[in-house]
Structure formats: C-alpha cells, structure tokens
Chains A and B, each alone.
Chain A
Amino acid sequence: MWGVRALFGVGLLVTSRGACVRACTGTCPRVCENPYKASAARQACTMANTIKYLEFPFFGGGWLPSYSQEEAQHIDEELFSEYSFSVDQLMELAGQSCAIAVAKGYPLQSLLKSTPRVLVVCGPGNNGGDGLVCARHLKLFGYDPTVLYPKRPNKQLFHNLTTQCEKMEIAFLSKMPETAVPTCWKTSTITPVSKQSSAACLNDFRPVALTAMVMKCFEKLVLSHLKATLPPSPRMPFLLFHSALTHLDNRNTYVHMLCVPLHGSNIIIKFAHDTTVIRHISDDDETAYREELQHLATWCSSNNLSLSTEKTKELIVDYRKSKGCTHSPVHINGTEVERVSSFKFLGVHISEDLPWTLNTSGQEGIPASLFPEETKEGPSAEEIDEVYNLVVDAIFGFSFKGAVREPFGDILSVLKKVTVPIASVDIPSGWDVEKGSSDGIQPDMLISLTAPKQAAAHFVGRYHYLGGRFVPPALEKKYKLGLPQYPGTDCVCQLN
C-alpha cells in the first residue's frame, strides 16, 4: 500500500476562510511500511527537514500536504530530468484527468443548456497545453468544447496539440479575423428529395442547395452582424474596387469585370447565384481570362448550372491613355457577351471609369480602411453565460509570477463576472501560487495536478480533484507527497 502519511509535531493552527491550514516544518515523519520497497523511507526523512509546506484537510480524513511554487517546480524538473518523462506524455495524462474531473463534476445530463458547450480558455504556457488536451478529451466524452487561445507559443508541442484539436473540429476563438469556419460546415452531401412517391424525371425532385444549411444560416448571421458594424455606405464592393484599383496602379493594365448571373433552367435545379469574375490583365494578355471563362462554362454545365449568357454583362475598366488594342468581345458557350459601360452590383452602381459619384453624396474617394474595426479580444461575460455551460480555466499554472499580461487581464476580469461554473486547472489563474487571492476568480472546481499547491488551501469551491496519476513512488516518498489513494483505476481523486 502506498499511503505515505506524514504526521508532524507541533504546528500552528491558522484559520483562513473557514479552511484550516497547518504550517509546519518537518521533524521526523512516520512512514507506513511498504512491502515492495521499504528502504527509501529513511531517505525521505532527511528531505523532510528541508521542506516547508502547508497541510490542509481533505475529504476522507487526514491532512494533505500542499506545496510552494518552488517545490512544485522542483518536482516537475525531476520528473523530466531524472525520471525521463516527456512533456507530451505527462501533459496527455494531466489533460485527460482534467477532462475526467470535469465529466464527474458536471456530467452531460446535468448541463442546463441544450447543447453541452464548454469554453476552454488556454494560456500561453504549459497550463494552456493541459487545457488543449482536456478540450480534446472532453470532445471525445461528448461535450462540445470551444477553445479561446489568444497567445500561442511558438513550440512544436503546442502546434501539435492545436492541430489535434482543430482536426477534432473543436472551434478556436482568438481574434475575429483568425476565426476559421469548420470545414464540415462548408461541405454538404446533396440528397435529392422527390416531390412524389415515384420520381420520373429530374423535375420531380425538390431544389437542392449546394451550400450546407448551417453555412447559409451562418452567412446570414454574419451578414447581419457585419451590416450592423459597417457604416452606411456599403463596403463590400470596396473589396472589388480595391483589388481592381491596386492592380490598375501597375503599368499597362486594365481590368475585366464580368457579372454572370447563373440561373437554373426549368428542367434542372432551380436556384439563383450571381457570380462575378474579375480579371486583372497585364500587357494585353487575355488568354488566361478567356481560358477561365471557358472553365467556368464547363464547370457550370458539368454541375447542372445553366449560365445565362444573355444576362451576362462585361465591363472593362481601362485607364490607359493609349489603348493597346480594341477589346474584342468575349464569348461564353458560343454567345457573345454584351459589353456595358455601367451596371449595378450589390446595389451599387459601377461604371467604366470607376467613379464613386453615383453612390456618394459629396464624399471623397474611397475610405482608407476597408475593413471593419477589430473586435475586442474574446467574448463578454453575458455572452459566455448565455452560450456555455461552464468554463475551463487553463490560463496560468504553478509557474505564474508577477503581473498578468494582456490579453489575459481582460479575460480574467470577464471570468470574474460570469455566473456559469469555472473549473481551474492546477491553480485558479491569477492567484498567487502560495497565498491565493481574495479578489481573483472564484472557481467552482479545482483540479490540482500531481499534488496540491499551497493556494489550494484558499479554494472554497464545491469540487477539489487531484489529477495527474503518474507520480513514481520514489518521487512521492522523496517529497513526502502523501497522496491519497486514487479509487481503482481512476485518474482523478476527489479531495472534498
């Protein structure tokens, strides 16, 4: 049996926040007899005299030693150097314990919201890595984690963990422009649904959308959000102009703009989709452009989309003083495309000389910034409360020291206001590793890894788990970790 219990002589009983802690220095610990390897006990005695640590009560009786930041760092170093563990090995075990503890404390059936969404906030160091592994395991257990990972360290280990999560289709939040739409939203399986019980011809099938429903809804939501943040004058055509104009800055260039409406015919599938092909031409070389149109025509026909050439308009923007050649008309499917000097696109008038007068009233030119202002880092407290069932805090671990750097200061202040439970990995982020913090975040669950740190004495949440079941017995004896018995083969042990 392992249970190494260290009992000490006289200590000072200090009450703080209802939790009793005993601060004491070691004299001579009483060690249980271990039939497998008893000789190491004497070695542990000398170590005990140099270590100063706190004990705090835990469920199941007894006192559990907890460690200072320095001791925790020594234990970690030894695991990697003497015991030859690798960071990814231990991180995998630690992250897995965190996920299991979360699953025990907040089982899927107990979650209040209709989807089992969980927010995992990952910091810039190893604690963040633990969070990434935890998110991956939570996904396997049936939860729906989203990771907020604003500062990613440039180390292969973290790149790998991030890739593993992304490939599990776990959404990552950082800044708006970096957010990626999951690939599964962009793919769709097309299943034709027949209108009658027996379908005789293609027209007996209902119209089919090529974009997945989710993506369509998403696009609508994004559009409404964008519209809300954009100033009155529409900016979408700006992107079109911006690309055209930057190209035109080069010598001997002009731009073709082809506005192609694609309509379904009555025979096949009905839908409407307008496509614009913009081609930047340099040095009068139009071959690529014409080839592309050919490809477009072929693609359309092979995908049962009928290109409406009659309604296609072409506009050429050519600022050159001496036109190299007269622009011959393009053909699509044998029919000539009408050239116009202006058309309407997305509600905006576009004409050959790209003026903006028709669309602006007295405003000059094109605004300098073409993109909406960057949104703030991460969601707000209300958003979190509305969307997620709980938050896993994997921001800072036991090596945290000093001031909190942005963007984590903001994130922590948001976390202080959320009402959904927070589960902290190893140390509640922002807390002093030894003294705790009275005005820091107050998590509902704490998952101490390897051994509890002194700050755990100040933890007042409902669940305190011990995770990271990989400590070699010799290490446990050396530092007199006094770890409790883990039940069966569980990787977590509840302490309160």
Chain B
Amino acid sequence: MYCSQVHMSSLALTLSLSLSLSSKVEMEVLVTELLKDYHFGQQQLIEIWGHACAVAITKAYPLSSLSKKQPTVLVICGPEQNGSIGLVCARHLRIFEYEPTIYYPKRSPHSLHQDFTIQCEKMDIPFLSYLPTEVQLINDAYNLVIDSILGPETDLQDVKEPYSGILATLKQVKIPIASVDVPSGWDSDEASTDGINPEVLISLMAPKKCATSFSGKHFLAGRFLPYDMQKKYELNLPEFPGTECFIEL
C-alpha cells in the first residue's frame, strides 16, 4: 500500500540516524522555551539535572567499585548553571552515601544558586577553600572528580582564573573525571583538541555536537522533556528504560 510504504521508509530513516546532536544555539532556544512557554522553573530544572547526574554517576562508579577506603568524590563547580547542577549532584551523591567534597571558588551571585550552596552546606558537605596544585594529593584523596565547571553556555574566550588553572590541573590527574553536559574547556559545537580528557560524559537533555569526538562512557540524563519539544527540535531521544531518569548511550 502506498501509505504504508512511505511509513516504513521514514521509520528506517529515523533508526539509521543516530541521536541527533544539538548545537549551542539550539540548546539555548530550547531552554528558553522550557522556561517561558512550558513554565518550568530554573531551580526545578537544575534539581532534575543534578539528580539525574548523580544517578548516572552511581551507575558509572558504583560504591562497591571505588578503590579507596572512603567513597570520596571531588566536585568542582563553576560560577554559572553548570556549577549549580554540580552542587545539586553533590547533594544527591551525599544522600546516596558517597562522600562528596566541593570546590566552588567563585560563587554565583544569583539567589537561586545561593540556595543550592546553603543546601549543600547544611548537608554537611565540606567546601574546599583552595584546590591543591599538587596533583598527587588529589589522586590520593579522591576516587573521582566531577567536572561541572563550564557548561555549553560558556564563552570560551572568557575563561579566566581560577578556571584555566583548574583545567590545567585536571589535565594531569590520574583519577577518572566525569563531566557534566560538556567537558569543561571544550567548545560545545566542535571537537576538542587539547582539552581535559574525561572518562565519563553525562549529557543533559540531548548530546552536544562536541560529543562526537568523545570516546568514553556517554550517558544521557534528565527525563522530563515534553514530547512536543522532542519532536519540534528533532531530538530523536532514545527510550529511557522503565522509570530510570538516565540512559547509557
């Protein structure tokens, strides 16, 4: 039948297309729409993302697999949204019985993000006042590093101290790095040349273009996008299993 033939070929086409990758601009437009038309709140979204990140981390690095005696994790948080997502992730990791320590050098001035800081402090999560430049100290103290410094919204020309210093340190650590959304220092649209090399990447909502040159474990986290939006932006997201909020790609 004519109609069914057309249907089958378009289905095959969708399957052959792997996950579509989003550019920085598309992501910005998508998030703006979520906030304005769908009336999601910023704190709500950050909570969803942070929680999903934490769950993905526990899948990638289960408590039993951690090599050190204590399940310590270093979470480095940047100044903007990516940093706040890291704060929420740290809080949930604490609930999941990890022992996160946060390094948050430049705190965001927004009151929304300040709340996240207080929540973490009240969860008895220690905040470091400085990051040791001695890479060996980091390797010895922590099982892994969660990089939530710079997100896709960052303008790479603008990266100043202390972040450039932190990124330099991170390039030398031996313990695994898990990056939130985009590996910090990578351009979200292009492949990276000499940036940090994370073992795990947790894309939020949809993978970014730079994910093509990522060769480690790739997770997609954050299960809340309305179907309308998925169709509109042609995200071709895979089906999340059961009630999980993340999926390994």
Chain A: residues with CB nearer than 8 A to chain B?
1-2, 36-37, 82-86, 88-89, 92-93, 99-100, 103-104, 136-137, 140-141, 157, 159-161, 163-164, 167-169, 191, 193-194, 197, 199, 469-474, 488-489
Q: Does A164 contact B123, Cβ atoms closer than 8 Å?
A: no
A489 touching B55 in the complex, CB below 8 Å, given contacts A163-B39, A473-B123, A474-B122: yes
Q: Does B122 contact A84, Cβ atoms closer than 8 Å?
A: yes
Binds A, one of B95-103, B155-163, B178-186, B204-212: B95-103
Q: Does A89 contact B124, Cβ atoms closer than 8 Å?
A: no
Does B242 interact with chain A (Cβ within 8 Å)?
Answer: yes
Q: Does A163 contact B38, Cβ atoms closer than 8 Å?
A: yes
- Size of the B side of the interface (Cβ < 8 Å), in residues, is 38
Q: Does A85 contact B115, Cβ atoms closer than 8 Å?
A: yes
Does B191 interact with chain A (Cβ within 8 Å)?
Answer: no
Q: Does A159 contact B39, Cβ atoms closer than 8 Å?
A: yes
**Segment 1-34 of B: residues with Cβ below 8 Å from A:** 1-3, 6
A-B contact pairs, 17 of them (CB 8 A): A83-B118, A84-B114, A85-B115, A89-B44, A92-B44, A92-B47, A100-B243, A136-B224, A137-B224, A141-B243, A164-B39, A193-B3, A197-B2, A472-B119, A474-B124, A488-B96, A489-B58
The 0/1 profile, CB within 8 Å of A marked 1, for residues 200-226 of chain B is 000000000000000000000001101
A36 to B, closest residue via Cβ: B99
Q: Does A84 contact B43, Cβ atoms closer than 8 Å?
A: no
Which of chain A's residues have a CB closer than 8 A to the CB of B165? none
Which of chain B's residues have a CB closer than 8 A to the CB of A2? 97
A191 touching B3 in the complex, CB below 8 Å, given contacts A84-B115, A472-B123, A473-B124: yes
Chain B: residues with CB nearer than 8 A to chain A?
1-3, 6, 37-41, 43-44, 47-48, 51, 54-55, 58-59, 94-97, 99, 114-115, 118-119, 122-124, 223-224, 226-228, 240, 242-243
Q: Does B223 contact A140, Cβ atoms closer than 8 Å?
A: yes
Which of chain A's residues have a CB closer than 8 A to the CB of B43? 86, 88-89
Residue from the list A93, A164, A194 in contact with B47, Cβ < 8 A: A93
Complexed CA–CA distance, A406 and B223 (Å): 36
A160 touching B3 in the complex, CB below 8 Å, given contacts A469-B95, A489-B58: no
New contact pairs (5) apart from A84-B119, A103-B242, CB-CB < 8 Å? A141-B242, A191-B3, A193-B1, A473-B94, A474-B124
Which of chain B's residues have a CB closer than 8 A to the CB of A86? 43, 115
| Most B C-beta atoms less than 10 A away, residue of A36, A82, A92, A103 | A92
- Distance (whole angstroms) from the CB of B69 to the closest CB of chain A: 10
5 shortest A-B CB distances, which residue pairs? A160-B39, A84-B118, A163-B39, A84-B115, A89-B47
- Distance (whole angstroms) from the CB of B223 to the closest CB of chain A: 6
B112 to A, closest residue via Cβ: A86
Q: Does A488 contact B58, Cβ atoms closer than 8 Å?
A: yes
Complexed CA–CA distance, A435 and B64 (Å): 43
Residue from the list A92, A472, A488 in contact with B122, Cβ < 8 A: A472
Which of chain B's residues have a CB closer than 8 A to the CB of A83? 118-119, 122
- Distance (whole angstroms) from the CB of A457 to the closest CB of chain B: 26
Residue from the list A92, A99, A161 in contact with B243, Cβ < 8 A: A99
Which of chain A's residues have a CB closer than 8 A to the CB of B47? 88-89, 92-93
Which of chain A's residues have a CB closer than 8 A to the CB of B243? 99-100, 103-104, 141
